Amino acid sequence: MNAIDLKAYRQLFDEMPVAALLLDDRGNCLEANEAASNLLGESLVDPTWNVFETDHVRGQELTHLVESLRTTGAVDSHDAMLYGPNGRRLVRISGHRIFNESLGKHVTWMVLGDVTDRSAAAYQLAQMNRQLEESNRQLDQFASMAAHDLKAPARRVRMFAQLLSNDASLGELARGFVVRILTSGAQMEDIIDSLLQFARVGEEVDDMRLTDMKDVLAQACGSCAKDIKEAGYKVVIDGNLPIVTMNRAAIEQLIVNLVSNALKFRRTDVPGQLTIASRTDEDPLGNHVVTFSDNGVGFPNQDSDHLFEMLYRAHSKSEFEGNGIGLAICQRICQGHGWNIRAESPEETGATFRIIVPKVPPVARTA
Amino acid sequence: MSITSVLIIDDSPTDLMILSALLDLCDRYEVMQAPDGSAALKILANREADVCLVDFDMPGMTGLEFTIEARSLRPGQCCILVTGASPADLAAAAEEAGVHTIISKASLSPHLLDGTIQAAIGARVQ
């Protein structure tokens, strides 16, 4: 190594933003850069400084580490708490004990990176995630309990209205009101059932098994068969659906909701058709892309980001019935599986729901 | 038309009222009411009921426990379970307890109740 190289390396060593030390086996410091002195708050390259005699509290962990390096030879990313002029700092240490030929003895080099801030941010993030999970859990519990407790009173309102409708003495106006109570009661029960379903989707994602989506699709279409037939709808399967890890009941619900959605938003002027396709060549990572494309009324493009929001409706209630929870359930099911669902309606004629199913099964979310 | 005696057991006074009113509309039932399983068993100890219409979710004694007790007191007692939960979830346990049929509270109507009770009585006669 020539003189220029040596100077450049010296400068690199002195000015590098992480602390670096070179120690001999007796614990004396042969080299230390500025960052190391700043971190420990001591003049390290001093014959009086020795890592084994350093302040017990300030360098305890460092002393243990150097002792351990004598037997293990190397340490990688060991986190230790050191005390310096900036107080308690969490330091990530890597080191190696090597034989230095020019010195004719073993030396240990150590690099110490201050990760206090990063660690604090990670801790804060983890804490916020825990709070968010707890908050979501409580919200689910609330939705489930609220829906469950509302179910019986809503049913009773409808039942009493039904009993009232049998009263022959009711006038025309009163009979009209009773019909409205019956209709509203049925709507309320439908919303409550959907809310309960939404809350329960989160409970189901644990029971994940490798399943052929083709079988689940057949079962889902079977349960929608009557509606499909009545609507004169055609369902076309294009391509091989994947065999992936899933909660079968949840994915059946997802497919039922998407098929029901296509049936609901069909056009009256053309025969309805839903094409369910599966590809692996569309995604750059080779993931399965399962699409549900219909030739229905579609939705305005600006709605595509909001379509999966709870109670969001792209069309008015007078145009199409529905409670705006079905697609929110779809998204929740996909999220629980680590899948991604998006909606497109390129020319606002027909809608396509695109589900990205990772090729590698994701780790099931913990409840 | 012969009169059929029906004992309704439900801890909800509102549901007792609804079930009674629905049966009244059928015009062929003599209705008795009990707010829980124990009270219903006391009634059954003194007199017969062609059919027990029992709620599943009750404090103290569930509809299934009542069915077992009632059938022990009066072998062959016909019990129909009424539930606000999903009937499919209770099917296996209900069969084991000796329940004749499960009906959902969400789909109650005079027609459904009448049809279910008459089918249950018909099955017992056979």
Per-residue confidence at A59, pLDDT binned at 50, 70, 90? low
Q: Hey, what's the torsion of the CAs at A277, A278, A282, A283, to 10 degrees? A: 140
Q: List B residues 91-110 in contact with A (Cβ-Cβ < 8 A).
A: 105-106, 108-110
A3-114 and A206-367 in the same fold: no
A354-362 average pLDDT score: 79
Q: Is 3.30.450.20 the CATH classification of the domain at A3-114?
A: yes
CA distance A236 to A220: 14
Contacts of A160 in chain B (CB under 8 A): 18
CB-based burial, A217-243: b 16+ in 10 Å, e otherwise: beebbeebeeebeeeebebeeeeebbe
Specify the range with the lowest mean pLDDT, choosing from A138-147, A323-332, B14-23.
A138-147
Hey, CA dihedral for B9, B11, B13, B18, is it positive or negative?
Answer: negative
Q: Residue A25: pLDDT above 80? A: yes
Please state at what angle helix B63-73 crosses helix B87-97, rounded to 10 degrees. 20
Contact present, A105 and A24 (Cβ < 8 Å)? yes
Per-residue confidence at A1, pLDDT binned at 50, 70, 90? low
User: CB contact, 8 Å: B121 with chain A?
Assistant: no
Which pLDDT score, from 0 to 100, does residue A203 have? 62
Comparing CB atoms, the residue among A151, A163, A189 nearest residue B21 is A163
Comparing CB atoms, the residue among B21, B25, B84 nearest residue A151 is B84
Mapped onto helix, strand or coil, the DSSP state of residue A63 is helix
Q: List B residues 48-67 in contact with A (Cβ-Cβ < 8 A).
A: none
> By CB neighbour count within 10 A (0-12 exposed, 13-18 middle, 19+ buried), where does A11 fall?
exposed
Q: Residue A5: pLDDT above 90? A: no
pLDDT tens profile A149-202: 888 889 999 999 999 998 889 999 999 999 999 988 888 888 888 888 888 776
Interface predicted TM-score of the whole assembly (ipTM), two decimals: 0.74
Which pLDDT score, from 0 to 100, does residue A348 have? 65
A306-313 average pLDDT score: 81
User: CB contact, 8 Å: B14 with chain A?
Assistant: yes
Q: Which residue type does A226 have? A: K
Contacts of B18 in chain A (CB under 8 A): 156, 159-160, 163
In chain B, the domains with their CATH numbers are 4-125 (3.40.50.2300)
Which pLDDT score, from 0 to 100, does residue B125 have? 60
Which pLDDT score, from 0 to 100, does residue A283 have? 79
pLDDT tens profile B57-110: 898 899 999 999 999 999 999 999 999 887 888 889 999 999 999 999 988 999
Specify the range with the lowest mean pLDDT, choosing from A41-45, A243-247, A291-295.
A41-45
Q: Residue B37: pLDDT above 90? A: yes
A156 contacts B14? CB cut-off 8 A: yes
Which pLDDT score, from 0 to 100, does residue A56 have? 43
pLDDT tens profile A220-266: 999 899 889 988 889 998 878 999 989 998 999 999 999 999 998 88
Domain boundaries, chain A: 3-114, 133-204, 206-367
Contact present, B79 and B65 (Cβ < 8 Å)? no
Q: What rounded mean pLDDT belongs to chain A? A: 84
CB atoms within 10 A of CB A126: 10
Which pLDDT score, from 0 to 100, does residue B98 have? 94
Q: What is the CATH number of domain A206-367?
A: 3.30.565.10
Sequence-separated (6 or more) residues with CB below 8 Å from residue A5: none
Per-residue confidence at B111, pLDDT binned at 50, 70, 90? very high
Contact present, B12 and B63 (Cβ < 8 Å)? no
Q: Residue A319: pLDDT above 90? A: no
Contact present, A331 and A304 (Cβ < 8 Å)? no
CA distance A213 to A190: 28
B25 contacts A152? CB cut-off 8 A: no
Q: Residue A148: pLDDT above 50? A: yes
A12-27 average pLDDT score: 88
CA distance B85 to B94: 13
How close, in Å, is residue B125 to chain A by CA atoms? Answer: 31
Nearest alpha carbon to residue B18 among A178, A166, A189, A156: A156
Nearest alpha carbon to residue A353 among A270, A273, A255, A268: A255
A155 contacts B84? CB cut-off 8 A: yes
Per-residue confidence at A367, pLDDT binned at 50, 70, 90? very low
Comparing CB atoms, the residue among B21, B106, B110 nearest residue A155 is B106
The better pLDDT of the pair A133, A320 is held by A133
B14-25 average pLDDT score: 92
Contacts of A159 in chain B (CB under 8 A): 18, 22, 108
Contacts of A151 in chain B (CB under 8 A): 84
How close, in Å, is residue B121 to chain A by CA atoms? Answer: 25
Contacts of A152 in chain B (CB under 8 A): 12, 15, 84, 105
A77-93 average pLDDT score: 80
Which of A163, A165, A191, A197 to mutate to test binding with chain B, by most B CBs within 10 Å of its CB?
A163
A162 contacts B109? CB cut-off 8 A: yes
Q: Residue A365: pLDDT above 60? A: no
